[in-house]
Chain A
Amino acid sequence: NAGVTQTPKFRILKIGQSMTLQCTQDMNHNYMYWYRQDPGMGLKLIYYSVGAGITDKGEVPNGYNVSRSTTEDFPLRLELAAPSQTSVYFCATSGVGTGELFFGEGSRLTVL
């Protein structure tokens, strides 16, 4: 099993460009999350989903959008990239139960 797969691993964007970070899971988990990690700041929740067709904002949703058309996929879209969105992005999943998260390997995004 691949678990949680994120693409791309690295990307450089210019200010104002748009892009989509892909996340797919083969764990059949209902819950999926997008976090961003900034040095010394821990992880901040951007968006989450509790199942196909249902998404909701986390702590830092501004500048991002998500969709969840299938159980497996949870893409994160940046519409107008800004330098403040330079970060490492992690997708995670969890099943029903105590909330243990399973993380992808991360996507490092730089906005110049």
Chain B
Amino acid sequence: AQSVAQPEDQVNVAEGNPLTVKCTYSVSGNPYLFWYVQYPNRGLQFLLKYITGDNLVKGSYGFEAEFNKSQTSFHLKKPSALVSDSALYFCAVRDMGAYSGAGSYQLTFGKGTKLSVIP
């Protein structure tokens, strides 16, 4: 079974400071890892993904994430936070080795971390 943990319900950071949103995962095989962002009353939007290759992945809006296999982590980072980054962030995982019958791409999501950037 695959699972994701986001250990912080909320992260507060001052505008202009670096931010980190934490994510750890558990899969039996190798992972596909994703970050999504949700603004109030909106659907989830894709930010970035790790499939294979370079452990540092760059995505939308200046976000990046670092894959660490030994620590089974995939933390989301940004060098300088903006007030407009305030939102709910979800980490998700799919086991590359998993094959669910008819070949669906089932993602397992974390519970989400609310990021508040303070002006």
Q: Which residues of A contact B (CB under 8 A)?
A: 4, 31, 33, 35, 40-43, 45, 48, 50, 54, 56, 58, 90, 92, 94, 98-106
Contact = CB atoms under 8 A, between A and B. Distances in A.
Interface residues of B, number: 26
Given A42-B112, A90-B44, A101 B102 contact: no
Going nearest first, the 4 A-B pairs with the smallest beta carbon separation are A99-B105, A103-B43, A42-B111, A43-B109
7 contacts: A31-B104, A40-B112, A50-B104, A101-B105, A103-B44, A103-B45, A106-B41
Interface in B65-118: 90, 94, 100-107, 109-112
Most A CB within 10 A of own CB, among B41, B42, B43, B94: B43
Given A42-B109, A98-B49, A105 B43 contact: yes
B104 A100 contact: no
A50 B101 CA distance: 10
A105 B42 contact: yes
B43 A100 contact: no
A99 B94 contact: yes
A79 B87 CA distance: 34
A46 to B, nearest CB: 12
A58 B106 contact: yes
Contacts of A100: 34, 46, 49
A5 B112 CA distance: 23
B110 A42 contact: yes
A92 B80 CA distance: 31
A43 B90 contact: yes
A94 B105 contact: yes
Contacts of B49: 98, 100
